[in-house]
Chain A
Amino acid sequence: MMTQSDIRLALLAFPLATLAALALLVGCGPAEPAGTQLAPPTPEVLCANHASFALLQTLAPPEIPIECLLGNLAATEFKPNREQLKRLQQAALVVLNGANLEGWSGRSNLAASRVVDSSKAIADKLIQIQGKAHSHGAGGSHSHAELNPYLWLDPVMLSAQAEAVGAGLRAAFPVYADVVSQNEKQLLEQLVQLDQNWQAFSARAQKTPLGGEHQALEYLSRRYHLVFAGGGELDLDLLLQPDPDSTIIERLQNNLSLLNAVIPD
């Protein structure tokens, strides 16, 4: 037999059911988001070759942290570990030399909008290394031929790289855009002067065989019609190894001085 309290409960049941349904309908909003928010890009510029690092040292103001991840390795030997890959993925700017020097970059998932391939705009001017391509089956498309990565030794090519890196720095660090532009302008002027010096040397050398036969010298050879052959005085280490005490212009000027020593006035 139903008691009075049962009846009271029953009286409340229907309105309560309606209210509960309404509460479910209205109140079940999205819960607090789970998981970890992705970290924002870190305000640093990373690269993995000495030429790009030297460019960055010249173009970027000291307030922008720049780092070359190479350590004691050559750029062609460098393979970033996972921690380094993570840093590269999150960096505000990654500067690549391109021309296949950083082969790892094509196998890494980097933030494309924050990567500057400094030789992309002059890809059609890069020197291909013969004998490295392959294809699958008759009529199959070729694999990409390897490219000569030492383009920075050519002042004209380096100018194009400097412009690309400058644009990347301005986009990543708009606060320092004016300083970067000023540094870039100065560097480009110096490179024009250096180009003229090389041209003058080229006129003097007149296809005289020079020392230091190396793939790295092909860009200079092509630009200034120089003939490099083994056995000379040219110290390639000075061309290719980092020198923290001198700027990129000083190092390139040193190359010219070395050759000037080979062919005196």
Chain B
Amino acid sequence: MNGLAGIWRLTLLRLRRHPVQTLVLVMCIMVPIFLPVGARVLIADYQTGLTSRAAATPMILGAHGNRYDLTFAALYFRQSELDTIPYPEARRLQQQQGLAVPIHARFKARGYPIVGTTPEYFEKRSSRIQVGELPLQLGETLLGADVAAELELTVGDFLFSDQAELYDIAIPPALKMKIVGVLAASQTPEDDAVFVGMETCWILEGLSHGHVDAESKQIDPKLILGQDEGNTVLSQALIEYNEVTPENIDSFHYHGDPELLPLSAVLFWPHTEKAGTLAKARINQSKQFRMLEPTVVMNDLLAFVLKVRSLIDAISWMLASITALLTLLVFLLSSRLRSREVNTLERLGCSRHFVAGLYLSEILSVLTMAVACALLGVWLVQRFLAEEIYTWI
């Protein structure tokens, strides 16, 4: 047996002989490596995700209020208490030399956000369809990949919207939506959303509905409260359709002022920088609504996240220093305890270099295991817990 192999063999035997001591040492060294590396990797991922999504959306139009709420509602479909903006604002913005895409994210289906938008949204996000097609008509829906997988739904199945209010009969009933497509997984918020056309959102809002024709003979006369100046007053007890079918689709109609149809936000892609500046100036000067640049909002948010990372770094350095000192102490004490073992080795003819190599190989082995465990831990967290951590942040 040559010297090096002997050193490694004895090292392995010793580590196997003292598994608890080895494990404690590995864990102690692993933590100060895992914490800063993990934090950096996760924050880098988070930063990339946030900034790339924000950078892919130059401007957001929405109501005044918390700008983080508006940005997260528009980009991540988070529900918020922010006021809505009227739908015609999207049309007005469209005339400002750019593409305006409305976003309506005020309802849920089995806990997932229902996002009302137009087909341009999927073009701008370069979405890919796994199966089926985009919604073409009222009452049709396109599922994100994770929604389809979690709920085990596919094209041809149905999904009910969540009932907003169980005991108020004035609130529209849950809408039975037909699934016509599923998006391919993209590791973006689209994976966890249920997409519908804008017209379907108006049904969910109760601004549009379908029922038996007010002038048809099928309607129960008891449900007609009166007629005046070209208007038939129907009872609120008249049951609305809760599903859009080829037979009843023509009966769906709007009530109220179309200028007030609510939107959560409007995404805006100006054709030129000048067009964007002009649109932003016009809207922000009017004070009625606000136009913001998501990259600016995200950079502000990331500045806070980076402060958290600096704190973790500082704690990790302190931890690493303490661990290094403790590890040194452990090895020094261990060497004293192992003086008889060293004497035996010397009597067997082992040189001082051999003994030093033995200690060094032990330290290296523990360090290597600690680094390997730390990196494995980082990978596991990145793979399985990243989403939860991002959500928490």
Residues of A within 8 A of B (CB): 2, 4, 7-8, 10-11, 14-15, 17-18, 20-22, 24-25, 28, 30, 33-38, 40-41, 79, 82, 85-86, 89, 103, 106-114, 130-138, 140-145
Selected interface stretch from B158-166, B347-355, B375-383: B375-383
Within 8 A of A (CB), among B105-147: 118-120, 122-123, 126-131, 133-138, 140
B365 within 8 A of A: yes
CB contacts (< 8 Å) of B236 on chain A: these are 136-137, 140
- Do B118 and A112 touch (CB < 8 A)? yes
In terms of DSSP, what is the predominant structure of the interface of chain B? mixed
Q: Is B277 an interface residue (CB 8 A)?
A: no
Q: How far is the CB of B335 from chain A (nearest CB, A)?
A: 22
Whether B231 and A113, one on each chain, are in contact in the complex, defined by CB atoms closer than 8 angstroms, is: no
Residue of B nearest to A7 (CB): B9
Q: Among the listed B101, B255, B376, which residue makes an inter-chain contact with A143, where contact means beta carbons less than 8 Å apart?
A: B255
A34 touches B185 (CB 8 A): yes
Q: A25-B378, A107-B199, A136-B233 are in contact. List 16 more A-B contacts (CB 8 A).
A: A2-B13, A4-B5, A11-B5, A17-B372, A24-B375, A85-B136, A85-B137, A107-B249, A109-B135, A113-B100, A113-B118, A134-B214, A137-B234, A140-B233, A141-B255, A144-B254
Q: Assess whether B187 is interfacial by the CB under 8 Å rule.
A: yes
Q: How far is the CB of A72 from chain B (nearest CB, A)?
A: 20
A-chain residues with CB within 8 Å of residue B234 when the two chains form the complex: 134-137
Question: Residues on B close to A: CB < 8 A?
Answer: 1, 5, 8-9, 12-13, 41, 90-91, 94, 99-102, 118-120, 122-123, 126-131, 133-138, 140, 183-187, 197-199, 214-215, 225, 230-236, 238, 249-250, 252-258, 365, 368-369, 371-372, 375-376, 378-379, 382-383
Q: Which 9 A-B pairs have the closest CB atoms?
A: A35-B184, A109-B197, A35-B128, A21-B375, A134-B214, A14-B368, A141-B256, A17-B372, A131-B230
Cβ-defined partner of B120 (8 Å) among A4, A112, A133: A112
Q: Across the two chains, which residue of chain B brings its CB closest to A30?
A: B187
Min C-beta distance of B2 to chain A, whole Å: 10
Q: Which of B137, B225, B376 contacts A107 (CB 8 A)?
A: B137
For A35, give its contact among B130, B199, B252, B372 (CB under 8 Å). B130
Nearest CB on B from A59, distance (A)? 19
* CA–CA, A141 and B234, complex, Å: 11
Q: Select one of B9, B12, B118, B378 contacting A111, CB under 8 A.
A: B118
Measured CA separation A61–B214 after assembly (Å): 45
A–B pairs, 29, beta carbons within 8 Å: A10-B8, A11-B5, A14-B368, A18-B375, A21-B371, A24-B375, A24-B376, A24-B379, A25-B41, A28-B383, A33-B186, A34-B185, A35-B129, A38-B128, A89-B119, A107-B137, A111-B118, A112-B90, A112-B94, A112-B118, A135-B233, A135-B234, A136-B238, A137-B233, A137-B234, A138-B225, A143-B214, A144-B254, A145-B230
Q: Is the CB of A86 within 8 A of B120?
A: no
Which of A7, A20, A35, A38 interacts with B5 by CB under 8 Å?
Answer: A7
- Checking B129, B225, B233 against A36 with a beta-carbon cut-off of 8 angstroms, the contacting residue is B129
A36 and B226 CA atoms in complex are apart in Å by: 54
| B209 to A: closest C-beta gap in Å | 9
Contacts of A18 in B (CB 8 A): 368, 371-372, 375
Q: Do the beta carbons of B184 and A34 come within 8 Å of each other?
A: yes
Could you tell me if B214 and A89 are in contact, using CB atoms closer than 8 angstroms? no
Compute how far the CA of A90 lies from the CA of B119 in the bound complex, rounded to whole angstroms: 9
Task: Return chain B residues, CB-CB under 8 Å to A35.
Answer: 128-131, 183-184
User: Which residues of B sit under 8 angstroms from A38, Cβ to Cβ?
Assistant: 122-123, 126-129, 134
Q: How far is the CA of A185 from the CA of B238 in the complex (A)?
A: 52
Cα of A132 to Cα of B118 in the assembled complex, Å: 30
Compute how far the CA of A136 lies from the CA of B126 in the bound complex, rounded to whole angstroms.
42
Q: Is B254 within 8 A of A143, CB to CB?
A: yes
Please indicate the chain A residues that have their CB under 8 angstroms from the CB of B379 in the complex: 21, 24-25, 28
Q: A137–B187 Cα gap in the complex (Å)?
A: 47
How far is the CB of A251 from the nearest CB of chain B, in Å?
Answer: 30
Pair B12/A7 contact, Cβ less than 8 Å: yes
Q: Whose C-beta in chain B lies nearest to the C-beta of A137?
A: B236
